[in-house]
Amino acid sequence: MAAQNVKQVLQAKLDSKNYDKLMALANDKLHKFVADAIELTKPATVFVCTDAPEDIDYIRKLAVKNGEEKPLGTKGHTYHFDGYNDQGRDKEVTKYLLAPGKTLGKGINSMDKQEGTAEIYGLMDGIMAGEEMLICFFCLGPTNSDFSISCVQITDSSYVVHSETILYRHGYEQFKRFGNNPGFFRFLHSQGELDNCVSKNYDKKRIYINLDDEIVYSVNTQYAGNTVGLKKLALRLAIKRAEAEGWLAEHMFAMGVHGPNNRVTYFTGAFPSACGKTSTSMLPGQTIIGDDIAYFRKKDGQVRAVNVEKGIFGIIQDVNAEDDPVIYKSLTTPGEVIFGNVLISNDGKPYWIGMKQPIPDTGTNHSGKWTKGKKDAKGAEITPSHKNARYTIAISSLENRDPLADAGEGVPVGGIIYGGRDSDTWVPIEQAFNWTEGVVAKGAVLESETTAATIGAEGVRTFNPMSNLDFLSIPIGRYIQINLDFAKDAKKAPPIFSVNYFLKDEKGKYLNGMADKLVWVLWAELCVNSDVEKIETPTGYIPKYEDLKKLFKDNLNKDYSRADYVKQFTVRVKQQLAKIDRVEKIYKEQVSDAPEVVFEVFSKHRDRLKKAQEKLGDNISPFDLESK
C-alpha cells in the first residue's frame, strides 16, 4: 500500500483524536501495518491506546462493559472465561510460516508461508466488522534499555490488552523514541464471532508465526497463551532475533537469592510445567524479578539478565495461603487481578482446585452453570476450576519483588538452574563441571516425567531441552550451539546447576520435602560465591553433608540426618547411564544438526560413570566419593 493510500485509510477510519495519537509515532512501517489490518478486518471504530492512565482505564472498563470480564466482590478483581474447547496453548494449530525450502527440523510445526498467509487472511477478512479495533503499544524488557523490544498489539479483545497492561511495560512513549526504526514485533489478533462472550468458531482457531517479518497472527481464540502476543508467541520471535544478534531469549525465571551478610546473588532457572519453576522463584526469604521469560546479554564481559515481563500469568491450581503465602495474599486483597477459568460461587467469589478451602457444590465456570459431578459430552467429569486455570497479577503487587526488577541494565547472573521431574536418577542438586557441561548435561538433557495420577502412564519421560522445546524458532542443534557459544567471551561464565525435587525411594516415597528446595538453592548461592567445598561425582559437584545439615537447621529448623543425605545424594549409576542412552538416541535420530560436543560430553559422562561403577558399584554413597 502506497504511503498516500495508508494515510487515506487511517484518516477515513480513525477519528481526529486517535489519528493524532497514531501519527505522533513517526513510523512508516507501523502506519502501514495498522492500515493493512483495518483494510483486512474492517472494524467499525479504532482506539489507539497510549501510556496515559485514562487510556489504560478505558481498556479496563471496556473489558467489563463488553462482558469479556466480570467484576468480583473485591475491588479491582475480575474474572474471565475462555470457551470449553479453548483452555490452553494449541500446538496443533500453532505453526511457523516458512519460505519454500526452509525447515526448522523434526518436531517443530510449520507450513508454507504463502499458503498460511492466504489462509489466515481469509479467516480474518472482515472479522472485526461492527467491532472496535484496539491498537496498543508495549515493551518487552525494561523501557529505554539495550534489552528493550518495542511491540504493537492489534486486537478486538479488551481482555487481551487488559491482560497485557498488567503483564508488560507500557510502550507508547518508548515507540516515540523508536522513531522510524522498523525493528518492532507485530501482533494481529481477533477473537472472532462470539457466543456468550467466548470464541464460537474454535474449530477455525489458528496461530501463525511469520519469523521473517516478525509478525504473529491469531484468530478464533481467547485463551491468553494463544492471544496475548507478547508472551510465548513473542518468545518465538525473540529466540530468532537473539540468534542473529548474539544474545539469548530463555524460558526462565529470574530471582535474587539472599546469602550471608546481606549478599544477593541472582539466579535464573528453567523448569518444564509442574516441575517447581514458580515455587522456586517465590521461595520464602528470597526476591523475585520474574517467573517466566528472561533475556540475556553480555555487558563488559558480564552476563546480565532482565525479566521480559512485569506481571505473572500463573497457574492457580494448588495456590494457597500455606504453600504460597505471598501470591495468595495478592490474590485475596484489593488490587488489579484477573482470574481465568476458575469457579465463581453463587455469591460471586472465586474458587479453585487446591486452594485448601471448601469449594461450593454449585456455581459458574468455563462450562457454564456447574454442579458437583457435572460431566461433559464425552462423559468426563468437569472439575470446579480448570486444571490450567490462571491468575494475572502485576509483580509490583508482591511483597517479595526485588528492588532491581525493572533495572534497565539487568542483573548480573550468578548461576543458572535447570530442573525436571525425575523419580529415580538426578540428585536434588548438582553443579556442572563447567559451562559446556552445564549446557549439555543439565540443560540439553532436561526431561519431565509424567505420573499415573495425571496422565495415566507413570514414568513417561518427555524430552524438553532447556524447557524451551515448544517455543523454538530455530533448529534444536543450532539453539544448543548458540547457548554453548554465548559464554565464550564472558569474563566469568555463570555456574550451571541441575535440581530435582521429585526423587523417590524404592517404595515410591518422595525423598525431598516441599520446603527442601530452599536449602538446595541456598547451597547453590554459597557454591557460586566459593563459600563451601564440594564433592566431585562422575557428573558434577554435590554438597557436603555438614553444609546441608547447617542449612537445614538454620533455615528450616530441621534436623537433617546422614541417612537422608545418603538416600538423596547416592549416585544411581544404572539410571544415569540409561538417561544418557535415552537422550543420546533422541539427538542421533531426531536432531540432525546436533553439535558434536553434545556426544563428546555424553561419552565422557558414560566413561566416568562406568569407571566409578567398576570400583564402587551401582549405587555410590556420597561419603565414598568424599573419601576417595
| Selection from 144, 134, 319 nearest residue 229 by Cα | 134
DSSP class of residue 467 equals: G
- pLDDT > 70? residue 287: yes
Q: How far apart are the two ends of the chain, measured CA to CA in Å?
A: 74
d(CA 267, CA 307): 12
Backbone angles phi, psi at 207, to 5 degrees: -135, 105
Summarised one tens digit per residue, pLDDT across range 378-387 is 898 999 999 9
Summarised one tens digit per residue, pLDDT across range 402-450 is 999 999 999 999 999 999 999 999 999 999 999 999 999 999 999 998 6
| Residue-level pLDDT at 85 | 85
Average pLDDT over residues 272-291: 92
DSSP class of residue 149 equals: E
42 grid coordinates:
474492517
The residues assigned a catalytic role are 275
| Residue-level pLDDT at 617 | 97
- pLDDT > 80? residue 475: yes
- pLDDT > 90? residue 514: no
| Residue-level pLDDT at 569 | 98
For 42-185, where are the alpha helices, taking DSSP H only? 53-65, 113-124, 158-167, 172-178
d(CA 43, CA 9): 12
- pLDDT > 70? residue 90: yes
| Residue-level pLDDT at 201 | 93
3-state helix, strand, coil in the chain (%, to 5): 35, 25, 40
User: pTM of the full predicted structure?
Assistant: 0.95
pLDDT over 90 percentage in the chain: 89
Q: Band of the pLDDT at 88, cuts 50, 70, 90?
A: confident
| Selection from 445, 539, 436 nearest residue 483 by Cα | 436
| Residue-level pLDDT at 217 | 98
The one-letter amino acid at 492: K
CB-based burial label for 446 (10 Å; 0-12, 13-18, 19+): buried
| Selection from 125, 111, 93 nearest residue 206 by Cα | 93
Tell me the C-alpha to C-alpha distance, in Å, between residue 572 and each of 117, 401, 579.
Answer: 51, 38, 11
- pLDDT > 60? residue 603: yes
Give the domain ranges of the chain. 3-67+90-246, 249-308+404-626, 313-397
Summarised one tens digit per residue, pLDDT across range 443-460 is 999 999 865 444 345 568
- pLDDT > 80? residue 73: yes
Strand-strand pairing, 94-98 and 110-112: parallel
- Which CATH architecture fits 249-308+404-626? Alpha-Beta Complex (3.90)
In CATH, which superfamily holds the domain spanning 3-67+90-246? Phosphoenolpyruvate Carboxykinase, domain 1 (3.40.449.10)
- pLDDT > 90? residue 615: yes
**185 in Cβ contact with 141 (< 8 Å):** no
| Residue-level pLDDT at 129 | 97
Q: Band of the pLDDT at 107, cuts 50, 70, 90?
A: confident
Summarised one tens digit per residue, pLDDT across range 124-160 is 999 999 999 999 999 999 999 999 999 999 999 999 9
Mean pLDDT of the chain: 94
- pLDDT > 90? residue 273: no
CB-based burial label for 172 (10 Å; 0-12, 13-18, 19+): buried
Say if 3-67+90-246 and 249-308+404-626 have the same CATH topology: no
Does 506 or 1 have the greater pLDDT score?
506
Please tell me the number of Cα atoms within 13 Å of 210 on its side-chain side. 18
| Residue-level pLDDT at 161 | 98
| Residue-level pLDDT at 87 | 84
- pLDDT > 50? residue 16: yes
| Local structure of 308: helix, strand or coil | coil
Interior/surface letters 134-167, b for 16+ CB within 10 angstroms, e for the rest: bbbbbbbbbbebebbbbbbbbbbbbbbbbbbbbb
Interior/surface letters 40-72, b for 16+ CB within 10 angstroms, e for the rest: bbbbeebbbbbbeeebbebbbebbeebebbbeb
Average pLDDT over residues 493-514: 94
- Which CATH architecture fits 313-397? Beta Complex (2.170)
- pLDDT > 90? residue 478: yes
Average pLDDT over residues 160-168: 98
